[in-house]
Amino acid sequence: MHEFAVATELVEAALREAQHRNARRIERLECRVGAMRQIAPEMLVDAFALAAAGTMAEGAVLDVKTIAPIVICRSCGDRREQREWAYRCPACGSPDIRLEGGDELLLASVTLEIEDER
Amino acid sequence: MNVEVMRNVFARNDALAGETRALLRQHHVTSVNLIGGAGSGKTTLLEASLPKLTGAKRVAVLEGDIATTHDADRIAAVGVPAMQLLTDGGCHLGASQVHHAIRKLPLDRLDIVFIENVGNLVCPASFDLGEERTVAVLSVAEGDDKPAKYPLLFKRANAVVLTKLDLLPHVTFDIERCTRYIRQLNDAAPIFPVSARTDQGIDEWVTWLTAPAGQ
Give the contacts of B197 (CB within 8 A, at least 6 positions apart): B164, B166
Query: Looking at the complex, does the CB of residue A102 fall below 8 Å from at least one CB of chain B?
Result: yes
pLDDT band at residue A12 under the 50/70/90 scheme? very high
pLDDT grade for B2, boundaries at 50, 70 and 90: very high
B93/B101 Cα distance (integer angstroms): 11
Chain A: residue whose CA lies nearest to B181 = A87
For the four alpha carbons of B118, B120, B124 and B129, in that order, the dihedral sign comes to positive
What is the distance in angstroms between the Cα of B24 and the nearest Cα belonging to chain A? 26
Bridge partners for A111 per DSSP: A28, B2
ipTM: 0.87
Neighboring chain A residues of B1 at a CB cutoff of 8 Å: 21, 23, 111-114, 117
pLDDT digits (tens, 9 = 90+) for B120-140: 999 999 999 999 999 999 999
Q: pTM of the full predicted structure?
A: 0.93
Reported as a single tens digit per residue, the pLDDT across B22-45 is: 999 999 999 999 999 999 999 999
